[in-house]
Amino acid sequence: MKIDTPNLTEMGIVNPKQIIGYETVHVADDKDVLRIDYKRPKGSFLPKRRRYEFKRIGKPMPGAELRGEQAIRYEISPILARAIAELDKLLADQKKTTASAKDIKQELAELNAEVNDRIAQLTKMIDKLDN
pLDDT digits (tens, 9 = 90+) for 15-57: 888 899 999 988 887 889 999 999 988 988 989 999 999 998 8
**Are 92 and 106 members of one domain?**
no
DSSP string, 37-83: EE-PPTT--S-SEEEEEEEPEEEEPS-TT--GGGGEEEE--HHHHHH
How many angstroms separate the Cα of 81 from the Cα of each of 27, 54, 64, 86?
16, 10, 29, 9
Structurally, how many domains does the chain consist of?
Answer: 2
Say which DSSP state 30 is in.
T
**Are 54 and 82 members of one domain?**
yes
**Are 51 and 14 members of one domain?**
yes
Instruction: Name residues whose C-beta falls within 8 Å of residue 82's C-beta, 6 or more positions apart in sequence.
Output: 7
**Are 30 and 82 members of one domain?**
yes
Q: Is residue 1 part of a domain?
A: no
Give the helix/strand (H/E) hosting 98: none
Residue with more model confidence, 4 or 31:
31
pLDDT at 99: 63
**Are 34 and 91 members of one domain?**
yes
pLDDT digits (tens, 9 = 90+) for 95-127: 665 567 787 888 899 999 999 999 999 999 999
Q: Which domain holds residue 117?
A: 100-131
Averaged pLDDT for residues 58-82: 74
